[in-house]
Structure 1
Amino acid sequence: MGSMAKRGINLDGFLKKQKRAENDFDDYSEDYCEADETSSPGTSTSIDIDTNDGSSDNRGLNYNSATITGKLDEIRDPAKGTEGVATRFYEGYGPYQPRCHYPLDSSGRHFCFQWYSQFDWLEYSPSVNKAFCFVCRVFGRTSKQHEAFVSTGFQKWKSALEKFRAHQSSAAHKTAVLTWKTAQRTRNNPETNVVTLVNYQKKKEVDENRQYLKNIVETLIFLGRQGISLRGHCENNESLNKGNFLKLLAFRAKDNQLINQFLINKEKGVTYTSHGIQEELLDIIGENMTDSIIAEIKSAGAFALILDESLDISRHEQAAVVLRYVNPEFAIKERFVGFFRAVQTDGESLYQLVQGVLSKFKLSIDHIVAQCYDGAANMRGIYKGVAARIKKDNSKAIYIHCNGHILNLVLVDAAKTVTAARNTFGTVAELHNFMEASAKRHAVFEEMQKESGSKMYTLKGLSDTRWACRAEALKIIVKRLDELVMALQKIADEDPSCGAQAQSLLNSICTFDFIFNLVVLNEVFSITKYCQSIYNMLMCLYVLHGAKSML
């Protein structure tokens, strides 16, 4: 009887314990499972979990009866592993700490959310019902001793507090916590981040390099715009004159700290002033300018082609290409787009060269409305000239003889048919050849100009193709006729070797016919020079009509 009573008491106690467990279990039951929508990075997430009846053992107790359903933050679930957890930390997220109904284990125990406040590194995985260490997962090293808190998860709830405290006291965890706290301060204050400081220094160096390179480009553009050569004959450290480019940079370094650091003090180890870099930068500048010009031409929709060939200093034939168009403001623009090597100068070769240039700039030959060349047969030939070949492809591309050339040719031929003009220009040519062929005779002419207190001039020669030179030659003789007469008189009196030639020229220029023709031709050619420099044909006709009336 006593034995039965004892067993009855034990049975009553067991039933009471079972009832309390079931009541505790029911207190956590909810109708759905959903992540807290108001949670933000850096805060723990509260989650509710549905409970469903599961299997029970022979004692009638439900174990592992909670089934996780609904919306969960599966990405942050620690059971998913350590991949991406560091990224989410720097995005502002902390340990994953859902507050929900936690399933019971076989001993009737479960995870308690109160542990979150005791161990701020603790996180829980609803999918596997296990606890993890957030700090060790992000900043720790995986070891067999702490593998449960990093990868496999901890589930022995009976000894949870003991194991949590032991893990918290471990050296590996303390090292991870120290790293965690440092990372938190860095995340909240990015300016103290070593990576940020390194990036800032790197960005500063890049900005300084770009600014210094900009100064170099500005110097190159200035020299190029002024038509000044860049390099010197010797640019080593012992040279007293290293060329215009380096000397100009050195001059700018006096009030430009960045150039002084790179070029003078050589603090950066590079100067970006080698010949190769100069040429590369000049090519880039030229390409940008050409691209801008071509963009304007394409916007205009139509253009005229101007082309002329000549020999360069290395005796290579080259073609200079100029494109003429009207911009949106109706202003006429003539843009030089480059020199191009011409292997041959026949009509077919130059036509192929023009096609290659247009193809390079992606311009269509159909958009040419006019073409302007000199009077050479290979350019203006009616059958095989460049003008005829282009007009065959585009009938709208009318050929126009260069107005400057054609006016000069007319003036030259007209002067040859008029005896007085022909003789005057012959005397002018002889004066130039006589005075400039000898430095001694040129010095006598300069001496006469100095004695009269006049501005120094040099006699100019004549040319059938350079129309401006005839006007310049006549103008100088008109202005310095007195000094020229005195110079010839002195040479005739004192120089026995060429005195006779000087006397002959002196007799020629002292006649009324020469002086009269000189003054008239000077007026005519000064007007025609002006006409060759303006675009408006009506204005040219007006000027010529006024000159005719005056004469």
Structure 2
Amino acid sequence: MDVCQSESEDLLSNDPGLWPAKLMDSDRTGIVRKLANTESKPFPKDSEGKAFPEYLRYTKAANGREKTKRDWLIYSESVNALFCIPCVLFASEVKKPSQSALGGCGYKMCDVKWRRMYNKLPSHENNRAHRDCYLKWKNLQCSINAAKGVDHHIQSQMLSEIEKNVALLTRLLDVTLHLASRNLPFRGKTQTLGDVHNGNYLGTLEFMSHYDPLLKDHLDKVRNNTKGSRLAHYLSSDSQNEFIQLCAKRVLKSILKEREDAIYYSIICDATPDISHAEQNVLLIRYVHYNDNENEWQITERFTEFKQFHKKTGSEIAGMIENMLKELGIDISDCRGQG
């Protein structure tokens, strides 16, 4: 159900006295849904002050033994009258609509005597027009319930698929954290499942899959995907890099929160060329941090990030440090030392 349809159905009432004079198919569907999700109003006392009798709730079959609930009878609080739900909804859809007041303006409670309804209700429900309207009403209820069942099944499938994906991503992130926390390399010479040279990341996942049915099922799908169809498997080097970056952002956020609590800090900066001879500068911040687990103050040094630059002048290094601190949201006025 789309948003517009939902909003239009919210404007409909479960009170027949408030239903539109001219009903569209969408109105009927909305009203039937509304009635299914709300309790009907209890029947009031009649003009003689007598409560609604239990025997009027049911109609007897021809054999006089089987009872069927009169689910079509409804009370309208807004106009204080009794109505027939299917006749009000579908009177315009049948060839010869019922002339009973139950399908029109309703039986006004000021004129109703329950003892007289004993004959009037059976007369109405045995009317051909009422039976035609009742059949249309029941067919609409069945179609709505069938659609609801399909929607529920689809929704259950979607939730199940979401839960599986969340569980799978949790395992992949756990392996990422395991390797990163031990400073182990992720990739090997190949990225092929089953290859002994495919690196620590894929190798660890393959080992875990021996004891984890969800992971085994996922890796089997990747292995059997020989036709090259698009399969989101999250095992590629790009996915690994993305996981690492997400973890790094989370760690950096915690470091910056610790530094903010400590207020004052010192900076340590050093540089070294990498294998391509590009100068890489590393910035560390040093501060006094209260460790809740150890229940003591500790001097803490934290790595923030690498910065690559080509010149080695003091001016460039100073500018680089200022820009890094600004990007990290660290106020340089709180700096109390450098090294």
Could you state the TM-score of these two structures normalised by the residue count of structure 2? 0.67
- Deviation, 1:285, is 0.6
Matches within 5 A, 1:494-533: none
The question of whether the paired residues in 2 share the 8 Å contact of 1:131 and 1:154 is answered with: no
Choose from 276, 282, 297 the match for 1:314.
276
- Deviation, 1:182, is 9.9
Does residue 349 (structure 1) correspond to residue 310 (structure 2)? The answer is: no
- Deviation, 1:198, is 3.7
Aligned residues: 278
Give the 3 Å change call, closer, same or farther, for CA 147–274 of structure 1 in structure 2: farther
- Deviation, 1:294, is 0.7
Q: Which has the higher helix share?
A: 1
Could you state the TM-score of these two structures normalised by the residue count of structure 1? 0.44
Listed one character per residue, the Cα deviations across residues 223-278 of structure 1 (whole Å, up to 9, x for unaligned) are 22222222223324685522221121111111111110101344995421122211
State the match for 1:99 in structure 2: 44
State the match for 1:279 in structure 2: 241
Choose from 252, 257, 262 the match for 1:295.
257
The amino acid of 1:283's aligned partner reads Q
- Deviation, 1:213, is 0.8
Listed one character per residue, the Cα deviations across residues 61-111 of structure 1 (whole Å, up to 9, x for unaligned) are xxxxxxxxxxxxx954213235864554454423x4542567xxxxxxxxx
Task: Tell me how far apart the structure 2 counterparts of residues 134 and 354 of structure 1 sit (CA, whole Å).
Answer: 77
Q: Which has the higher strand share?
A: 2
The amino acid of 2:71's aligned partner reads D
Listed one character per residue, the Cα deviations across residues 395-437 of structure 1 (whole Å, up to 9, x for unaligned) are xxxxxxxxxxxxxxxxxxxxxxxxxxxxxxxxxxxxxxxxxxx
Task: Tell me how far apart the structure 2 counterparts of residues 226 and 209 of structure 1 sit (CA, whole Å).
Answer: 26
Matches within 5 A, 1:55-70: none
Task: Tell me how far apart the structure 1 counterparts of residues 95 and 246 of structure 2 sit (CA, whole Å).
Answer: 61
The amino acid of 2:170's aligned partner reads K
Task: Tell me how far apart the structure 2 counterparts of residues 134 and 173 of structure 1 sit (CA, whole Å).
Answer: 8
Listed one character per residue, the Cα deviations across residues 191-222 of structure 1 (whole Å, up to 9, x for unaligned) are x9554444333222211211111111111122
The higher-RCO structure (CA 8 Å, 6+ apart) is: 2
Give the 3 Å change call, closer, same or farther, for CA 135–368 of structure 1 in structure 2: farther
State the match for 1:121 in structure 2: 72
Unaligned runs of at least 5 residues, structure 1 = 1-73, 103-111, 187-191, 373-551
Larger Rg: 1
Does residue 332 (structure 1) correspond to residue 299 (structure 2)? The answer is: yes
Choose from 231, 235, 238 the match for 2:187.
231
Task: Tell me how far apart the structure 2 counterparts of residues 76 and 160 of structure 1 sit (CA, whole Å).
Answer: 21
- Deviation, 1:327, is 1.3
The amino acid of 1:320's aligned partner reads V
The amino acid of 2:39's aligned partner reads Y
Give the 3 Å change call, closer, same or farther, for CA 141–243 of structure 1 in structure 2: farther
Choose from 104, 111, 136 the match for 1:154.
104
Give the 3 Å change call, closer, same or farther, for CA 86–324 of structure 1 in structure 2: farther
What is the aligned-residue identity percentage? 22
Give the 3 Å change call, closer, same or farther, for CA 77–303 of structure 1 in structure 2: same
Listed one character per residue, the Cα deviations across residues 426-462 of structure 1 (whole Å, up to 9, x for unaligned) are xxxxxxxxxxxxxxxxxxxxxxxxxxxxxxxxxxxxx
State the match for 2:3 in structure 1: none
The question of whether the paired residues in 2 share the 8 Å contact of 1:323 and 1:334 is answered with: yes
Matches within 5 A, 1:357-368: 357-368=324-335
Unaligned runs of at least 5 residues, structure 2 = 1-11, 20-26, 60-69, 108-118, 226-230, 291-295
Matches within 5 A, 1:396-415: none
